[in-house]
Amino acid sequence: MTEDIRNTPLTDWHAAKGAQMAPFAGWSMPIRYGNISEEHACVREKVGLFDVSHMGEIRLVGAGATDAANKLFTNDVRRGLPSEEGALHRALYGAVCKPDGGILDDVIAYAQSPEDVLFCVNASNVEKIDAWFRAQCGTNVDIINESRATAQIAVQGPNALALIRRVLEGIPEKTPPMRFMPAQFQGTEVTFATTGYTGERGGEIFVPIDSALALWKELLAQGEDLGVAPIGLGARDTLRLQKGFCLYGNDIDESTTPIEAGLSWTVRFDKGDFNGRSVLFEQKENGCARHLVPILMEDRGIPRHDYAVRTESGEGTVTSGTMLPGTRAAIAMAYVPVDVCEGSKVEVEIHRSWRKATVTKLPFS
């Protein structure tokens, strides 16, 4: 049976502008508008807009929202609540894990109050996480899936905050990363968060579906002198990989844990019990058999997902790889035995030939 492909509020705009469209996580999404290297450079040097309306938004509401969220989530959502009046709320990155520590999804939690916690989840996992939350939460928590009513636009790059302040009302001149706040766009209430998937300054705007196209067009109009351009998923992938950010389904999944993936900083063992805690604590204290590392190719060839890796300590596997735009550097992330560390020499099998590479550090330059 053919899978139904959904459109975002901006799909027709992308197609009209000549974007290369392709299915992604059940959505018709722009892969690129022109040259991926140029789009990558635009975000690093100026400002780019991403349509990320395919992402999911699931809210926990009720007297038990904070406790329920903390059972589901590796980070501590209480850290997102401001400690003093007038302070900004914090957005928290972490994982939703199974009892065995496997990652069901990597998410960002936005605690509006102790009774209201929003999770932004990956598009491919919306139905899975919605069902998981409903199975795990008690009767004193309502699960509200807002995904079909909410669009999301990411504004990323050195000029991003200047652009955002031109278009949204209520944005402070200086806003630290990983914060969120209410704002206004032409009389419509939106949520602005200084989050993103590129490693650049800027943020993401949660906007009602009906206002998404108007917001997108206004950002483009107001950002002409700032060098704004629409950016596709191709450059989004090279940008995130350059910074070493994990992609669900490639670098992390239900067979990997946050400790193996280098995400131990998102796990708050001191907050009490949560799904996967005992397994993750054991790995944290006694180590894992493998871990995720960045690899820089020395020989020619581009490593890709599932390519084999050979080390002195055993075999590994590439999870993500690309040619870094603007350079001649081929880069990758790979799971390798845990004693393979920065500076270690490894080999990647590319087109039936073993090519030399080195474990390096993040971010890739």
The CATH superfamily holding the domain 289-365 is Aminomethyltransferase beta-barrel domains (2.40.30.110)
165: part of which helix (H) or strand (E)? Answer: helix 160-167
Distance of CA 231 to the CA centre of its chain: 16
What distance in Å separates the CA atoms of residue 1 and residue 23, rounded to the nearest whole number?
A: 16
Q: What is the pairing mode between strands 27-32 and 20-24?
A: antiparallel
% of residues, the chain, pLDDT over 70 = 99
> In sequence order, what E strands does the chain have?
20-24, 27-32, 47-51, 56-61, 89-97, 103-113, 116-121, 142-145, 150-156, 179-185, 188-193, 202-208, 228-230, 290-297, 308-311, 314-323, 330-337, 345-350, 353-359
pLDDT digits (tens, 9 = 90+) for 37-70: 999 999 999 999 999 999 999 999 999 999 999 9
Q: What share of the chain is helix, strand, coil (3-state, %, to 5)?
A: 25, 35, 40
% of residues, the chain, pLDDT over 90 = 95
Q: How confident is the model over 298-305, as a mean pLDDT?
A: 98
Q: CA neighbours within 13 Å on the CB side: how many for 246?
A: 27
Q: Which CATH architecture has domain 11-53+149-242?
A: 2-Layer Sandwich (3.30)
pLDDT of 86: 75
Q: What is the pairing mode between strands 330-337 and 290-297?
A: antiparallel
Q: How confident is the model over 135-144, as a mean pLDDT?
A: 92
Q: How confident is the model over 309-335, as a mean pLDDT?
A: 97
Identify the residue with better confidence: 185 or 1.
Answer: 185
pLDDT of 83: 83
> In sequence order, what E strands does 35-128 have?
47-51, 56-61, 89-97, 103-113, 116-121
pLDDT of 139: 84
Q: Is 346's pLDDT higher than 70?
A: yes
pLDDT of 308: 98
pLDDT of 85: 77
Q: How confident is the model over 248-257, as a mean pLDDT?
A: 98
pLDDT of 84: 80
Q: Which residues pair with 113 in a beta bridge?
A: 116
pLDDT of 1: 35
Do you know the residue count of the chain?
365
pLDDT of 89: 96
pLDDT digits (tens, 9 = 90+) for 255-299: 999 999 999 999 999 999 999 999 999 999 999 999 999 999 999
Q: Model confidence at 3, in pLDDT bands (50, 70, 90)?
A: low
Q: Is 2's pLDDT higher than 50?
A: no
Q: How confident is the model over 159-186, as a mean pLDDT?
A: 96
Q: Is 344's pLDDT higher than 90?
A: yes
Q: Where are the domains of the chain?
A: 11-53+149-242, 289-365
Q: Model confidence at 328, in pLDDT bands (50, 70, 90)?
A: confident
Mean pLDDT of the chain, nearest integer: 96
